[in-house]
């Protein structure tokens, strides 16, 4: 982890990920905010990966964004399945099984 003073002045933030560079590499880091401890609430950068080109750094940032959203997509998919099942029940009891 790099201290805030040593962080480059130019970086690009994409959601909870930042892309920054030094003289040799482009770096992709996750932005974290600890909830407990002496640094609670202070931003720090973790899970840093190093890339030789900006293209690879952007690809990594996009990959992280997709992986982070998979859990949210699973929740949406499960809700859609529940709605689908409920609609099938409604259609069955209203149209297929007349009383």
Do residues 27 and 49 make contact, with C-beta atoms less than 8 angstroms apart? yes
What's the domain range around 20?
Answer: 4-96
> Which stretches within the chain are classed as H helix?
54-91
What's the number of domains the chain is made of? 1
Q: Is the pTM of this model over 0.75?
A: no
Give residue 78's pLDDT: 86
Bigger pLDDT: 7 vs 15: 15
- DSSP letter at 99? -
Give residue 99's pLDDT: 59
């Amino acid at each position: 982890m790099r201290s805030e003073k040593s962080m480059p002045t130019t970086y690009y933030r994409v959601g909870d990920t930042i892309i920054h560079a030094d003289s040799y590499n482009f770096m992709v880091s996750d932005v974290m905010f600890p909830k407990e401890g002496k640094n609670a609430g202070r931003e720090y950068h973790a899970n840093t990966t190093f890339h030789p080109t900006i293209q690879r750094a952007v690809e990594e940032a996009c990959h992280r964004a997709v992986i982070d959203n998979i859990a949210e997509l699973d929740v949406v998919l499960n809700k859609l399945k529940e709605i689908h099942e409920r609609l099938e029940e409604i259609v069955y009891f209203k149209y297929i099984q007349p009383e």
